[in-house]
Structure 1
Amino acid sequence: MRSLLRTQSFGSLVRDSSLVWAASGVVGVSFGALSVAGGLPVWVPVVMSLVVYAGSAQFSAVGVLLAGGGPFAAAATGLLLNTRAAAFSLAVADLLGPGRATRLLGAHLVADETVAFALAQPDPARRRAAFWVSGLGLFAVWNLGVLAGALVGTALGDITVYGLDAAFPAVLVALVLPSLRASRPLRRPAALGALIALAATPFVPAGVPVLLALAGLFLYGREGAAV
């Protein structure tokens, strides 16, 4: 019975994660195609996705390269956008498990969607399983999508023409909503972060609004200290 429950739990996690994987694959195909269409060799987006594995940072770094910027400027842009992963890592540090190799692999899998999916689960054991199921699946689908897009090259074009770019943020919002319903202290910081991100979006590069939205954490810390 216990093994059956574990199998059913694993199956439900895979089913729930599949929407995130599908959205990630679509964006990955776009990233690979746009990178190659801009003049980069096929291996650049493929290796970047394996080593960096950060969607918004990768888009921004490639944008800098295609605009004529050097590799150091591209790397600095990616690092700036990916600093939010530090906060995400703290949130899921207890889910990575023991062992240096396991924690290093888990740290590489930390992403907005993986963290949101894991923290939305009701208990520690399911959160840990959700992190690894979502993280490993997302990593695989993202890299396969990037490879496919890079091989396709210019045939696909820009996914914004089809409106498919909206799938990724829509799925992320769906993952976050259960946590907001269950925890009232999270709502005001989340609302503040969302307002900051929306206000900054017209004026800053892609990915930076998400980084600025972390300012809402200060309100969460203040409310937590007051309690």
Structure 2
Amino acid sequence: MPSRQRHQPEQTHQPRPAKPPSAVVRDALGVGVAVGLSGFAFGVTAVGSGLSVLQTCALSLLVFTGASQFALVGALAAGGNPFTAAAGAFFLGTRNAFYGLRLSGLLGLRAAVKPFAAHWVIDETSAVTLVQPDRRSARLGFAVTGLTLYLLWNLTTFAGAKGAGALGDRAAWGLDAAGPAVFVALLAPLLTSAVERFAAGLAVVLLLMSLPLLPAGVPVLVAALAAPAVLYGEGHRARKRTADRPETGADTPVRGNSAGEVDAR
């Protein structure tokens, strides 16, 4: 007799609707302009930390990752060791490597273009690119965001560095908080799961606890430990759930009905 099987309905995944190029450009310009203008705050802060205008502009041209740049000059301004400040900035910048792994397959760029595109792999370009419904929109969003942000960030960095002396007491303006504030505003909506929110909250707690105890630049490194700690905890919980789950399969007894038919469960 043929076995009776329960058929589960197939789940279909509806593709996301295509996005008009004008909408992609509008969203990309909005992010690029909003974040690019905060380069002025970086220019002022960097000069106030003891860097020259040339050094400040070189950082924006060659490093081009706002959070790491602010971490570097912030640690220097607080009297931190240059090597510690550089280590904190480098550690923050490593996140862009993980963005690149995801964007490489999504954008599908030629090998000759990838080294140049890698310079624009930052938080903002990644955020705009990853929400696009198709490759064409992803490439357009990445290019417009990267170009707009790179040009504005460097222009406003130069303006801030040159005009830093005209602002008087730079600490009173609180411009050193402008860049990180923009970064947090962009990051917060992306924290959709409880695990991500817990990791962010733990990082804040570690930072606040270590600030009065450790030299400038080191609290950033301590706060960064929140992510691997939470990931390890989640992995341990997942393995424990798998180990506690009862095994089913070949050892499960097969029940027959009165007619001799076999039910496949």
Q: When the two structures are superposed, what TM-score results if normalisation uses the length of structure 1?
A: 0.74
Question: CA contact under 8 A between 2:36 and 2:148: conserved in structure 1?
Answer: no
Name whichever of 12-21 and 23-32 sits farther off.
Answer: 12-21
* Matched residue, 1:192: 198
The one-letter code sitting in structure 1 at the alignment partner of 2:138 is R
Give the alignment of 1:1-227 within 5 angstroms. Answer: 9-67=20-78, 71-156=82-167, 157=170, 160=174, 166-174=181-189, 176=190, 180=192, 187-203=193-209, 205=219, 209=223, 212-213=226-227, 219=234
Percent identity of paired positions between Structure 1 and Structure 2: 38
Q: 1:107 to 1:83 in 2, by over 3 A?
A: same
Consecutive unaligned residues of structure 1, counting only runs of 5 or more, are 1-5, 181-186
Number of aligned residues: 209
Q: Secondary structure at the residue paired with 1:100? A: coil
The one-letter code sitting in structure 2 at the alignment partner of 1:79 is F
Question: CA contact under 8 A between 2:70 and 2:176: conserved in structure 1?
Answer: no
Q: 1:173 to 1:152 in 2, by over 3 A?
A: same
Q: 1:171 to 1:56 in 2, by over 3 A?
A: closer
Between the aligned partners of 1:112 and 1:146, the Cα distance in structure 2 is: 18
Question: CA contact under 8 A between 2:88 and 2:221: conserved in structure 1?
Answer: no
Deviation at 1:104, TM superposition (A): 0.7
Between the aligned partners of 1:162 and 1:70, the Cα distance in structure 2 is: 19
Between the aligned partners of 1:214 and 1:129, the Cα distance in structure 2 is: 33
Question: CA contact under 8 A between 1:192 and 1:213: conserved in structure 2?
Answer: no
CA deviations 1:113-155 (Å, max 9, x no partner) are 1111111122232122212221222111111111111111143
Deviation at 1:60, TM superposition (A): 2.0
Deviation at 1:75, TM superposition (A): 3.0
The one-letter code sitting in structure 2 at the alignment partner of 1:97 is G
Name whichever of 188-197 and 52-61 sits farther off.
Answer: 188-197
Q: Secondary structure at the residue paired with 1:62? A: helix
Between the aligned partners of 2:84 and 2:220, the Cα distance in structure 1 is: 16
Name whichever of 79-88 and 12-21 sits farther off.
Answer: 12-21
The one-letter code sitting in structure 2 at the alignment partner of 1:24 is V
CA deviations 1:12-50 (Å, max 9, x no partner) are 223212332233233210110111123321011100111
Structure with bigger helix share is 1
Q: 1:58 to 1:207 in 2, by over 3 A?
A: farther
Between the aligned partners of 1:215 and 1:124, the Cα distance in structure 2 is: 34
